[in-house]
């Protein structure tokens, strides 16, 4: 008997990646950072590879090494690297590294010498996001240094890449500006003798809506997990995560009774409330107080009162809800349950945050499909 669980449909992940793969001539890098957007990095990566992804994308060196520890041999790119990391481990284990500064490039060269082999590098250019990526004024120096390091056998420049600001709003003017900036950066690299096999800029939104941005490799994240990067758009993807728990206690309360901390909810009449053992320690946003939708007793209802660390309360009226009944916070929507998008709308965030934060050490992830 289970109490609360996060269910992950690996067949959905595999199918979503197959759908993305079918829509492009580029290779697909499944982005599995952030513990696979909360779906479990290694199982998500395996399912994505089974669906036709040929690359994996993560942020940290540790994430990349965990993929290698799990026996995954596909190319992996790690892109969030502070100074002083043991990058030789990445080089020794065939992890591709992103570089956006001369300093990091020098560290990678040093790591390659320690590892005794060429490091695989993707040079990142800032085309307008103003986050990671070399600013245009430093780009020429970076590619020239990379060309030199490549000629010396210390690195192999595998990619030149960037990231979109606003691909989730098709037609937004930043998209064209970024594509122009990317083309200029590629031309500068070419003049320096850097002509990598992989040019990549497309996230999920661009993968689904902007073929001219696919280049050699696309990097979808949220779409892999079946959620639309563009609110209200239907790309035929299938959400992979469902979150549910069994009712711990159902009881009658009188009219006019305050519920949960601060009594921010008051019963309007005599009613049944159900206590569900999931709270903000498990990833339920506290902002879902009096807002988060829950399927319980054949109806979608709203959380009554504050979300606590470990539990929520749901007013179910006179529905015959009893301890042990299943409350579904969100899922694919097949049985009328809310979706992660419904939760995002209710809480004022994006589906990315809803799924990525979901789960805790005490809530098991249960995998279905994917040969599990
Ligand atoms: C550099 C980079 N590429 C690709 C992605 C995937 O983005 P999305 O989940 O919108 O597809 C991310 C995620 O934020 C990212 O940081």
Encode pLDDT of 199-210 as tens digits.
Answer: 999 999 999 999
Is the pTM value of this prediction over 0.75?
A: yes
Rounded CA gap, 6 and 230, in Å? 24
Is 33 an annotated catalytic residue?
yes
Most confident option among 139-148, 164-173, 228-237: 139-148
For residue 119, what are its two tokens? Answer: 């490091």
Nearest to 33 by CA among 215, 203, 212: 203
Q: How far is the CA of 237 from the centre of ligand 1 (A)?
A: 17
Give the full edge-to-edge strand order of the sheet including 271-276: 249-253, 271-276, 312-317
Residue 372: pLDDT band with limits 50, 70, 90: low
Residue 152: pLDDT band with limits 50, 70, 90: very high
- Average pLDDT over the chain, rounded to an integer: 97
Whether the per-residue pLDDT at 129 is higher than 80: the answer is yes
Average pLDDT value for residue range 159-183: 95
Average pLDDT value for residue range 248-269: 98
Q: What is the pLDDT of residues 105-124, one digit of tens each?
A: 999 999 999 999 999 999 99
- Per the DSSP assignment, residues forming a β-bridge with 123 are 99, 160
Residue 18: pLDDT band with limits 50, 70, 90: very high
Residue 232: pLDDT band with limits 50, 70, 90: confident
Nearest CA to ligand 1 atom 9: 221
What is the model's pLDDT at position 46?
98
Nearest CA to ligand 1 atom 14: 221
- Per the DSSP assignment, residues forming a β-bridge with 368 are 9
Is 148 an annotated catalytic residue?
no
Length of the chain, in residues:
372
For residue 76, what are its two tokens? Answer: 């992996």
What is the model's pLDDT at position 231?
85
Angle at CA of residue 350, ends 172 and 169, nearest 5°: 10
Which atom of ligand 1 has the smallest separation from the CA of 167?
10
What is the model's pLDDT at position 359?
81
Which atom of ligand 1 has the smallest separation from the CA of 203?
11
Residue 184: pLDDT band with limits 50, 70, 90: very high
Which atom of ligand 1 has the smallest separation from the CA of 222?
9
Average pLDDT value for residue range 22-40: 98
SS3 readout for 129-183: CCCCCECHHHHHHHHHHHHHHHHCCCEEEEEEECCCCCCCCCCCHHHHHHHHHHH
Whether the per-residue pLDDT at 258 is higher than 80: the answer is yes
Whether the per-residue pLDDT at 364 is higher than 80: the answer is yes
Rounded CA gap, 154 and 318, in Å? 71
Which atom of ligand 1 has the smallest separation from the CA of 33?
13
Residues with CB under 6 A from ligand 1: 31, 79, 163, 203-204, 219-223, 229
For residue 104, what are its two tokens? Answer: 């990091």
Whether the per-residue pLDDT at 149 is higher than 70: the answer is yes
What is the model's pLDDT at position 371?
57
Q: How far is the CA of 230 from the centre of ligand 1 (A)?
A: 13
DSSP state for residue 309 in the 8-state scheme: S
> Which among 33, 198, 225, 265 is annotated as catalytic?
33
> Which among 124, 225, 261, 280 is annotated as catalytic?
261
Whole-number percent of the chain with pLDDT over 90: 98
Chain centre to alpha carbon of residue 205: 13
Q: How far is the CA of 58 from the centre of ligand 1 (A)?
A: 9
Residue 97: pLDDT band with limits 50, 70, 90: very high
For residue 331, what are its two tokens? Answer: 């899922």
Q: What is the pLDDT of residues 43-72, one digit of tens each?
A: 999 999 999 999 999 999 999 999 999 999
What is the model's pLDDT at position 50?
98
Rounded CA gap, 125 and 143, in Å? 10
Which of 20, 27, 31 should be mutated for ligand 1, with most atoms under 8 A from CB?
Answer: 31
């Amino acid at each position: 008997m289970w109490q609360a669980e996060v269910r992950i449909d690996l067949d959905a992940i595999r199918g979503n990646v197959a759908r993305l793969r079918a829509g492009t001539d580029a290779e697909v890098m499944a982005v599995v950072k952030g513990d696979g957007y909360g779906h479990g990095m290694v199982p998500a990566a395996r399912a994505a590879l089974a669906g036709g992804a040929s690359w994996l994308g993560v942020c940290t060196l540790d994430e990349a090494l965990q993929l290698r520890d799990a026996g995954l041999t596909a190319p992996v790119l790690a892109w969030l690297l502070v100074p002083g990391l043991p990058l030789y481990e990445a080089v020794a284990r065939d992890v591709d590294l992103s570089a956006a500064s001369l300093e990091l490039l020098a560290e990678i060269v040093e790591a390659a010498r320690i590892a005794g082999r060429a490091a695989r590098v993707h040079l990142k250019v800032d085309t307008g996001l103003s986050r990671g990526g070399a600013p245009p004024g430093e780009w020429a120096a970076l590619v020239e240094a990379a060309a030199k390091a490549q000629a010396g056998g210390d690195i192999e420049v595998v990619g030149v890449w960037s990231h979109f600001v606003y691909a989730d709003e098709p037609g937004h003017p930043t998209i064209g500006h970024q594509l122009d900036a990317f083309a200029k950066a590629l031309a500068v690299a070419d003049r320096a003798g850097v002509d990598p096999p992989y040019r990549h800029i497309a996230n999920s939104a661009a993968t689904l809506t902007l073929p001219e941005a696919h280049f050699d490799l696309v990097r979808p994240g949220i779409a892999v997990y079946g959620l639309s990067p563009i609110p209200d758009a239907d790309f035929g993807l299938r959400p992979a995560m469902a979150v549910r728990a069994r009712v711990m206690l159902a009881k009658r309360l009188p009219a006019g009774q305050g519920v949960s901390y601060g009594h921010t909810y008051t019963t309007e009449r005599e009613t049944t409330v159900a206590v569900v053992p999931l709270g903000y320690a498990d990833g339920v946003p506290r902002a879902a107080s009096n807002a988060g939708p829950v399927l319980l007793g054949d109806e979608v209802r709203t959380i009554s009162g504050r979300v606590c660390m470990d539990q929520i309360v749901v007013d179910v009226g006179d529905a015959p809800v009893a301890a042990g009944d299943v409350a579904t916070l969100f899922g694919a929507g097949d049985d009328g349950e809310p979706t992660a998008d419904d939760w995002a709308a209710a809480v004022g965030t994006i589906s990315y945050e809803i799924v990525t934060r979901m789960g805790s050490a005490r809530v098991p992830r249960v995998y279905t499909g994917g040969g599990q």
